[in-house]
Amino acid sequence: MDRFHQLRVYVAVAEEEGFATAARRLKLSPPAVTRAVASLENTLGVKLLDRTTRYVQVTEAGRRYLEDARQILSGLEAADEAAAGINAEPRGHLAVTAPVMFGQLFVMPGIVEYLERYQAMEVDAVFLDRAVNLLEEGLDVGIRIGELLDSSMRALRVGSVSHVVVAAPHYLEKHGLPHVPQDLRDHTLIASTAGGFGSGWRFAASTPEHPLKIDARLTATSNEAAISATCAGFGITRLLSYQVAAEVEAGRLEILLQQYQPPELPIHILHREGRHASTRVRAFIDLMAQRLRSDATLNIEDSTA
């Protein structure tokens, strides 16, 4: 059996954590996928996967082999593209991740444009409000908001946003304006747990209490829910500038305490391939970078200059 075929099947099963889902991804029959993995394990004399009726997980040996298999397949893909020429059209499968609301607003339109432009491509969009390890979860490209901790990823900065405190005009008419962050303790506060930015509300480093511990009357697990309650005039919330840009533009929300806003947070496109990334990854990054950099909502430094 072709070893490259075995590697492709094994990588798909490991990433999908299932034979049936890997078969659908590869457009193969489940028995063919099972045979390919069994043949690979038999050739190596090593168990790569633990299988039960409920899940499929890589073994410790399988985890190490998975990274090697990905590198081999990436090298093969790069060789194929070099032989086909630099103008070869992207084809194959791409897995992209981003925060939920950011993905819905900005990444999905880019994915649709990418798919319309490159008819031989398929994309999995994985939108999660947590930091995703591209390597461990088998993802090709990620968009991340905030300072980067993983230096092993290739990163391209494409914009910046900031945390902003907002409230509806009719709430402020009834309850008054907070003038310093500490005044927020006298107001009804709405918090969102999505995004992983912690329970404290951070302000400029010169603020006496940094971050400010808040006592929210309403805590929501989604940013959309927090925005809805704030627009309804229930209280004050703090979110990222892009998340409330439409409501601020329409006058449904007002930005408060602007002089105390913390430093901007960078937006990066990350990928786990080397300097010579595949055509499909390069094409997607180029398209998304152009889209994000041209959006004033995501480039607050430029838009306020």
| Range of weakest confidence among 37-41, 197-201, 210-214, 252-256 | 197-201
Helix pair 60-84, 3-16: axis angle to 10 deg = 120
**In whole angstroms, what is the distance from residue 34 CA to residue 32 CA?**
5
| Range of weakest confidence among 61-70, 103-112, 265-274, 275-284 | 275-284
pLDDT (average), residues 21-36: 90
CA angle 196, 176, 203 (to 5 degrees): 30
What's the confidence (pLDDT) of residue 305? 36
Q: Please report the sign of the dihedral spanned by the C-alpha atoms of residue 278, residue 282, residue 160, residue 125.
A: negative
- Indicate whether this model's pTM tops 0.85: no
Q: Sorting pLDDT into bands at 50, 70 and 90, what band is 304?
A: very low
Q: Which domains does the chain have, with CATH numbers?
A: 3-84 (1.10.10.10), 92-157+269-303 (3.40.190.10), 163-260 (3.40.190.10)
Go through 221-241 and write b for each residue having 16 or more CB atoms within 10 A of its CB, e for each that does not.
eebeebbebbbebbbbbbbbb
Q: Which tens digit of pLDDT belongs to each residue from 214-234?
A: 889 999 999 999 999 999 999
Name the phi and psi angles at 158, rounded to 5: -130, 0
